[in-house]
């Protein structure tokens, strides 16, 4: 069986790039199934070299060969052959010679590229054989219907538009506050259907917004010291009470002759307060934002109070601190931008993990990305994108290069766990951590299933975990 089903020839500056499409029935490169090519000892490079030698005259300059399965880039092979030239090359590549190529960058979308080049999304998909709107960084796209040289055109001038690249910890709310706009305006300008963002995404800031300037640092007027009393409630701590009244733990202990940090419900404390009202924090000040955070903490199991108070009271502060500790964030006790984003992500992943169990028993299918059948990385791709996390189709080994490393003791639902089943140190399997020391994945033996991290088979192949969202 020929391992390549078709090819595409793309002109470069001083030669050609060939895109080879791997025959979906070939099993030579199926790492995750651990299928070895016992009958054919050729390596990938040799197979590519032989195919190029058979299909193209020697005088054509082939600089690079990209091997694809559908829209998934498997490998790039740089050819070191002699200079080629062939009089028929222009005739053979007429269809591609009048098309511009574009290399996908972080934050790109088919919609954005189509607007830059004045074509439609459907035209882009048809020209590149795409069956979905998913593209990946480094992917080369053909731009149909253009007759210019092979260089990226300058974007149409947009003097009133500002762009912003999303960084870790960002949220639409925080960005809207920084640029003096609204979340709805940001969604509309960027055609977003949810509040989900990803690092590296480029956002258009609506033209009515202005470039942010550093906020001036106010010099607060000294407030008179006032003595007040406070009755300890369930969940209170000296630290939380001190924050509420703009004082310190040591000052409270001194005023009340305390020798330890232990306090009891109903105890009346004397507070030497520097202000008559609780201080303003970096937490969003409106009660709606506080209620949202309290609801999220409650759903995630961090906040046990049945009624949402809409205030950053001591119980809420302690719940935020516990969440921040579990997710490796700075422990501030405030609803800062990083914490708000982490809460949003945790909520998405909670729903994802609950939904993933609806697919238990779906059979294993190499390369599968639908409920008809999944491979392990295809299942991760499907679940993330179904729940609004824009993820490119990739392999388990490539996924292992992304995100932040997480120790076993800090695993949270939705984190990815990785295994080297076929060769020591070579990632060949991935799944979602679901909590309670278990993970769910697409296995070649039982399809989608949940097993323990301590399973005698899987535990010996465990390599590590990553938090990619």
Query: Domain with 388 in it: what CATH number?
Result: 3.90.1720.10
Please indicate, yes or no, if residue 320 is contained in any of the structural domains. Answer: no
Q: How far apart are CA 315 and CA 160, in angstroms?
A: 45
Residue partners of 122: CB distance under 8 A and separation at least 6: none
Please indicate, yes or no, if residue 45 is contained in any of the structural domains. Answer: yes
8/120 same-domain check:
yes
Could you read off the pLDDT tens digit of each residue along the chain, which spans 469 residues?
Answer: 567 777 777 776 667 778 887 775 554 344 443 433 333 434 667 777 788 888 777 767 777 787 777 666 667 777 654 333 333 333 333 334 445 788 887 667 777 787 778 888 888 888 888 877 777 777 888 887 654 333 444 444 444 458 888 876 677 777 887 788 888 888 888 888 777 777 778 888 886 544 554 544 555 555 556 678 888 876 678 877 887 777 888 888 888 888 887 888 788 888 876 544 444 444 444 566 778 888 888 889 887 766 677 777 888 888 889 999 899 888 888 888 888 888 989 999 999 999 998 999 999 998 888 998 999 999 999 999 888 888 888 889 889 988 889 999 999 999 999 999 888 889 999 999 999 999 999 998 889 999 999 999 999 999 999 998 8
β-pair partners for 442? 448
Q: How far apart are CA 73 and CA 451, in angstroms?
A: 31
Please indicate, yes or no, if residue 216 is contained in any of the structural domains. Answer: no
97/171 same-domain check:
no
126/189 same-domain check:
no
Task: Give me the CATH number covering residue 236.
Answer: 3.10.350.10
**Nearest to residue 359, comparing CAs of 463, 434, 454, 466?**
434
Q: How far apart are CA 165 and CA 37, in angstroms?
A: 44
Please indicate, yes or no, if residue 425 is contained in any of the structural domains. Answer: yes
Q: How far apart are CA 9 and CA 66, in angstroms?
A: 11
Q: Which residues of 15-44 are buried (b: 16+ CB within 10 A; e: fewer)?
A: bbbbbbbbeeebebbbbbeeeebeeeeeeb
124/198 same-domain check:
no
Please indicate, yes or no, if residue 32 is contained in any of the structural domains. Answer: yes
Give the total number of structural domains in the chain.
4
β-pair partners for 19? 8, 66
**Nearest to residue 422, comparing CAs of 2, 21, 31, 24?**
31
Residue ranges with strand state E in 225-367: 226-231, 268-273
410/452 same-domain check:
yes
Q: Look-up: residue for tokens 């109903």?
A: 266
Please indicate, yes or no, if residue 328 is contained in any of the structural domains. Answer: no
Check residue 421 and report its DSSP letter: -
Q: How far apart are CA 288 and CA 320, in angstroms?
A: 16
Sheet of 462-467: strand order equals: 404-406, 462-467, 416-419, 429-435, 438-443, 447-452
What pLDDT was estimated at residue 275? Answer: 47
**Residue 447 contacts residue 363 (beta carbons within 8 Å):** yes
Q: How far apart are CA 386 and CA 392, in angstroms?
A: 12
139/166 same-domain check:
no
137/169 same-domain check:
no
Please indicate, yes or no, if residue 19 is contained in any of the structural domains. Answer: yes
196/74 same-domain check:
no
172/258 same-domain check:
no
Print the domain residue range for 256. 226-273
131/168 same-domain check:
no
pTM greater than the 0.85 cutoff: no
Tell me how far CA of residue 29 lies from CA of 77, 427, 428, in angstroms: 15, 14, 12
Secondary structure (3-state) at 101:
strand
Q: Which of 244, 273, 302 is the last residue of a domain?
A: 273
197/254 same-domain check:
no
Please indicate, yes or no, if residue 176 is contained in any of the structural domains. Answer: yes
136/10 same-domain check:
yes
Residue ranges with strand state E in 324-454: 369-370, 373-374, 404-406, 416-419, 429-435, 438-443, 447-452
What pLDDT was estimated at residue 144? Answer: 79
């Amino acid at each position: 069986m020929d391992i390549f089903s078709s090819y595409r020839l793309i002109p470069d500056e001083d030669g050609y790039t060939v895109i080879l499409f791997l025959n979906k029935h070939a099993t030579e490169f199926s790492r995750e199934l651990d299928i070895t090519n016992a009958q054919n000892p050729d390596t990938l490079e040799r197979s590519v070299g032989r195919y190029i030698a058979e299909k193209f005259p020697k005088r054509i300059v082939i600089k690079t060969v990209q091997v694809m399965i559908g829209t998934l880039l498997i490998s790039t092979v740089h050819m070191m052959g002699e200079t080629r030239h062939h009089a028929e090359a222009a005739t053979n590549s007429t269809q591609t010679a009048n098309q511009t190529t574009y290399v996908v960058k972080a934050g790109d979308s088919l919609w954005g590229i189509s607007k830059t080049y004045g074509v439609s999304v459907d035209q882009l998909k048809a020209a590149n054989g795409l069956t979905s709107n998913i593209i990946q960084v480094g992917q080369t796209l053909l731009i149909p219907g253009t007759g210019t040289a092979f260089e990226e055109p300058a974007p149409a001038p947009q003097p009133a538009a500002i762009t912003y690249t999303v960084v870790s910890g960002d949220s639409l709310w925080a960005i809207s506050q920084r640029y003096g706009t609204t979340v709805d305006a940001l969604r509309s300008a960027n055609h977003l259907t949810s509040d989900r963002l990803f690092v590296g995404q480029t956002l258009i800031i609506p033209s009515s917004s202005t470039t942010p300037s550093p906020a001036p640092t106010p010099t607060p007027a000294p407030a008179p010291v006032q003595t007040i009393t406070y009755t300890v409630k369930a969940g209170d701590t000296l630290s939380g009470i001190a924050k509420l009244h703009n004082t310190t733990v040591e000052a409270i202990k001194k005023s009340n002759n305390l020798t330890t940090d232990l306090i009891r419900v109903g105890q009346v404390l004397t507070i030497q307060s520097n202000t008559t009202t609780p201080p303003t924090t970096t937490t969003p000040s409106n009660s709606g934002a506080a209620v949202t955070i309290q609801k999220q903490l409650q759903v995630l199991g961090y906040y046990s109070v049945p009624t949402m108070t809409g205030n950053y009271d001591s119980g809420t502060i302690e719940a935020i601190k516990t969440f921040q500790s579990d997710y490796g964030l700075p422990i501030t006790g405030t609803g800062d931008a990083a914490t708000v984003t982490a809460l949003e992500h945790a909520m998405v992943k909670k729903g994802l993990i609950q939904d993933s169990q609806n697919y238990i028993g779906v059979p294993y299918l190499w390369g599968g990305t639908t409920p008809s059948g999944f491979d392990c990385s295809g299942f991760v791709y499907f679940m993330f994108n179904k729940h609004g996390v824009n993820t490119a189709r990739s392999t388990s080994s490539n996924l292992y290069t992304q995100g932040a490393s997480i120790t076993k003791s800090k695993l949270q639902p939705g984190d990815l766990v990785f295994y080297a089943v076929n060769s020591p140190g070579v990632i060949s399997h991935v799944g979602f951590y679901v909590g309670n020391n278990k993970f769910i994945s697409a296995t070649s033996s039982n399809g989608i299933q949940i097993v323990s991290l301590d399973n005698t088979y899987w535990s010996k192949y465990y390599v590590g975990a990553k938090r990619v969202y």
